[in-house]
Amino acid sequence: MFASFTQTYGNRPLLLDIYFRDSRLIEFKNKLDLNIYSFHNASPYIIEKFKKLNTVKNTELLVFNDPNINYTDTIKILKEKLKEHDCKFLFFSQDDTFSNDNKNIDFDELIQYIKQHKVFCLNLAKIGKESYKPSSIHKNTFNVFEYNTLDLTNIGYWGFDDTSYICTTNLLDVIYDEIYINKHDVWSAETYLSTKFATISMPRFLTDKALFINYNIMGKTIHGKNEYLAKLRKRGLL
């Protein structure tokens, strides 16, 4: 099975409105077998709003209102859920992840390409360049460059972060190890991943387009908010 996972925090109705306007993101998710949407400390109003607007097929909701359950606990629960459903592939995105340069991408072709791999991780938010990895894999509507986490570190990206990706689920225990699970909050957990994968090599392929990016308009670490808002308006999502 091919699953997706998205988690929202507290009450952020604006992000739900944008999410359901994003026809390309919805189109991609509707091609998958299971779509998990998680609510972390959200009000009943937000959950009901989601249910009312939702057009994503095969959606399963997770609701976490226990104050003792933190962000990395939900990742641990996600891994258990994916094993329960025998999922082989995962599309991971945050609640502020929306479409970017994917208008001309053939999603069927992308999914077919992904399913050819037994060990695989594709960053969907960064752009790869042929000048750095000339042994690109050419497809009809996109190019893939065989980067790894050390390559990303070398060119100034984080080796691994909280941006959108697709991977084979057999890598999730490598990515989200026990040290990660014990970090509890998203900021220290993401910093741990960056530090860890600056010295550990793992596949982290890139395409020549950033397909789904985080629009950083809410949260504790907002930067470039006006630019992201302008981009959302230009795309008709806001």
Q: What CATH number does the domain containing 56 carry?
A: 3.90.550.10
User: 204-238 pLDDT, tens per residue?
Assistant: 999 999 999 999 898 666 677 889 999 999 999 98
CA within 13 Å, CB half, 159: 20
In 3D space, the residue among 80, 142, 78 whose CA is nearest the CA of residue 110 turns out to be 142
User: 150-161 pLDDT, tens per residue?
Assistant: 999 999 999 999
Give the separation between CA 36 and CA 210, rounded to whole angstroms: 23
**What mean pLDDT value characterizes the chain?**
93
Range of the domain at 112: 2-234
Number of domains in the chain: 1
Question: Whole-model pTM?
Answer: 0.95
